[in-house]
Structure 1
Amino acid sequence: MRVLHVITGLGVGGAELQLRSLLRHTRHDAEVVPLYNPGPVADMIRADGGVVRDLAMTRNTQLSALFRLWRVIAAGGYDVVHTHLYRSCVYGRTAAWLARTPVVVGTEHSIGETHLERRRMTRGVQALYLATERFADNTIAVSAAVRERLVHWGVPAHRITVIPNGLDLDRVAFDPDGRQRGRAEFGIDPDTYVIGVLGRLDANKRFDLVITAAAPLLDEKTALLVVGDGAERAHLESVAGHAGVADRVIFAGERHDVGTMLSTVDLFVAASAQETFGLSVLEALECGLPVLYTTCPALDGAGSTHARRVPGTTSGLQEAIAAEVIAGQRERIADPAVRERFSMAAVADRVDTLYEDLSGGAR
């Protein structure tokens, strides 16, 4: 089958990296069209041998881009159009319907309780989403929580399939050499206990809460590594400075070597206010890290023994981090519950099978 993936952009982010992983495991012939911003992930996909065609949108409301996308789809003769993220769902599902594509699927990666991809869910946003959802045959929800939110919005339950995000196990496996390289790069001693957070630096991740909670515990033998970049960076640096721990909070910036960064730290903390899945938590567990988290729908019913849910308060988080710091560095053993449920190969197979089922079983 010929599959066209349409995604809003290809900067470094969870949905974008998921798409790259899916492309590496699919059994179908797939290409990608980002609406705009063919960033670092586009380069990764091309390096893997994939095809990326930039639609070159210049603003959010650009009707001409809809017709350009329709022409791409119609000329490509695709069997499936698969959209990812809000804006590409609006444009991609509509263009695929106009081109009479046999199968149209969307994946909902980032619908929270009050926001959709950092966009407040107004009536207008909801109405546009639901109007274009009618052009799709199915929507993939990455967790049961996302499915419930979609149904609450008004998406028919029978047109939703729950397929979780997947892990490239080798990409995030513990790497002793990577640990040494990471610590050497940041000047961290081998016996220093390192608390880690990872993700886009935006307000929902509440990295400022982690810095504030960890600050009293940071000393010459304990540090905090912040991996990622975004609009909140200056604010987070200010929080560390006001807490008097600027020299013990290390900002690594945007990184593509996730396995190395996770291997560098000893404890992973995820303090998000809202999550639709919690991929970074799973990556940390696969890397053998103990994890403290405030919300992670992916772990609902997973039976993980290496992750612990904690209160999203300064005192509650501080108490939990302190207990881990006292326990010290641990042997790195991947969480078996994560490996069994979330390998990317198994997830890609489920997505491919969904395409085939929707097309009537054609391969």
Structure 2
Amino acid sequence: MDKKEKPAKVMIIHPNLNSGGVETQIRYFVDNHNINRLRLVLVLFSRSEKHSGQTIDTERIRLFTLGHCRQPNFVKRIYLLFRILLSEKPDVVYTYLPNTNIVGLLLGRLCRVRSVVWGLRVSQFRYKRFGYKGEIVNLLAVFLSRKVDLLIANTWVGLNEYVSRGLAAKKSVVIPNGVDTEKFRPDKNIRNNIRYEYGIKPTELLIGVIARMVEWKGYEYFLEAARQLLSEPEYDVRFMCVGGGNNVLQEQYVRKTRHYSIANRFFWLGDRSDVA
């Protein structure tokens, strides 16, 4: 009689579960992984005001939070993460973002984790926008990437971008983002309800962007495209921006629409859970 195979234990380390693409992927992973084949441990650096533990099924995973967003004690959090790694003894450490990639690799190797996986989620990320700290993170990532067992990118463009910068893991693979076509599909009733809620006329064209409010999501290009489009008198267009994040940055964008004299054509919805 064959011995029953022991489920692999994967530890995901991430800053928080605020709105974002990676965060959505983590939630789907938690809700849909096969608990008979995989034991999942989720470690969050902080539990922000926007995150509720009710969104995570703690019966399916083990959840650890290293602190609160208003308690920036980085050294303490690293120590707590080290202790969790020693006690949980995961088979795999999986991280997504530059800073957590580096921390996950160093602590994972120190704790003798079998495999370390880095997720690469962007195609043209510019570290220079973060000053010397960004450059240091980039140099460390390039230097340490040779110790990574697997790089997972969501696009070939993104993977080639990282390889051209010098990242060279033992193995790399591209897994495109999945889309739930049962959830994300045209729905005439939802469309009509949204247009009614915001007073959008049937004759008006509505163009939207759904993205976190950060500099690298392309809102600058969206605003410039809107300005150019509205300069043509034959277009009757409204624009909808869905996504929270940097409130100061959003106010800068709002001021820019006023400068362009197109502010009355924009809706700023912030975080929404009904984008489908």
Shorter-chain-normalised TM-score: which range?
Answer: 0.7 to 0.9
* Match for residue 240 of structure 1 among 224, 246, 257: 257
1:185-210, CA deviations, whole angstroms, 9 ceiling, x for partnerless residues? 21223442111122123333123223
Task: Tell me, yes or no, if the aligned pair for 2:22 and 2:96 is still in contact at 8 Å.
Answer: yes
The answer as to 2:113 corresponding to 1:101 is yes
Q: Which has the higher contact order (CA 8 A, sep 6+)?
A: 1
Counterpart of 1:210 (choices 209, 216, 225) is: 225
Q: Give 1:99 deviation, angstroms.
A: 1.7
**Deviations 1:138-166 (CA, angstroms, capped at 9, x unpaired):** 11122112222222222226422222222
- What is the correspondence of 1:74-153 to structure 2 with a 5 Å cutoff? 74-110=86-122, 112=124, 114-115=126-127, 119=130, 122-153=134-165
Runs of 4+ in structure 1 displaced over 6 angstroms?
A: none
- 2:46 alignment partner in structure 1: 36
Distance in 2 (alpha carbons) for counterparts of 1:123 and 1:96: 23
C-alpha spacing 1:41/1:164, structure 2 compared with 1 (3 Å): farther
Q: Is the 8 A contact 1:83 1:89 kept in 2?
A: yes
C-alpha separation in 2, matches of 1:149 and 1:66: 30
Given that residues 141 and 167 in structure 2 are in contact (C-alpha distance below 8 angstroms), is that contact kept between their aligned partners in structure 1?
no
Structure 1 residue 16 corresponds to structure 2 residue 23: yes
Letter in 2 for 1:53: F
- Given that 2:44 and 2:65 are in contact with CA atoms closer than 8 Å, whether structure 1 keeps it comes out as yes
Alignment of 1:298-309 (within 5 A): none
Matches within 5 A, 1:1-363: 1-27=8-34, 28-38=38-48, 40=50, 43=53, 45-46=55-56, 50-51=60-61, 52-56=63-67, 58-59=71-72, 62-110=74-122, 112=124, 114-115=126-127, 119=130, 122-156=134-168, 158-204=170-216, 205=218, 206=220, 207-217=222-232, 221-229=236-244, 230=246, 231-259=248-276
Cα separation, 1, equivalents of 2:102 and 2:169: 19
8 Å contact 2:229–2:235 — kept in the other structure? no
1:126/1:214 Cα in 2 relative to 1: closer, same or farther (>3 Å)? Answer: same
Structure 1 241/234 Cα, relative in aligned 2: closer, same or farther at 3 Å? same
Assess, with a 3 A threshold, how the Cα gap between structure 1 residues 76 and 219 changes in structure 2: closer, same or farther. farther
Deviations 1:40-88 (A, max 9, x none): 46646415865432112744x8333222112112211322211111111
Cα 1:74–1:44 shift into 2, 3 Å? same
Paired residue for 2:5?
Answer: none
Aligned counterpart, 1:328:
none
Percentage of matched positions with identical amino acids: 23
Code of the aligned partner of 1:252: L
Deviation readout 1:258-287 (Å, 9 max, x if unpaired): 21xxxxxxxxxxxxxxxxxxxxxxxxxxxx
In structure 1, what is the Cα distance between the partners aligned to 2:253 and 2:48? Answer: 28
Q: C-alpha distance in 1, partners of 2:179/2:100?
A: 23
TM-score normalised by structure 2 residue count? 0.80
What is the CA deviation profile of residues 86-109 of structure 1, one whole-angstrom value per residue up to 9, with x for unaligned ones?
111121222221221222211011
SS of the residue 1:172 aligns to:
coil
Checking the alignment, whether the CA contact within 8 Å between 2:149 and 2:170 is kept in structure 1 is no
Match for 1:12: what amino acid? S
* In structure 1, distance between residues paired with 2:149 and 2:187: 42
Kept after mapping to 1: 8 A contact 2:95/2:104: yes
Contact 1:223/1:248 (8 A) holds in 2? yes
Q: Is the alpha carbon distance of 1:243 and 1:183 closer, same or farther for their aligned partners in structure 2, counting shifts above 3 Å?
A: same
Contact kept in structure 1, 2:13 and 2:42, CA below 8 Å:
yes
TM-score, normalization by structure 1: 0.63
Write the distance in 2 (CA, Å) between the matches of 1:155 and 1:171.
Answer: 36
Q: CA RMSD for the aligned pairs?
A: 2.8
For structure 2, the residue ranges without an aligned partner over 5 or more in a row are: 1-7
> What is the aligned residue count?
257
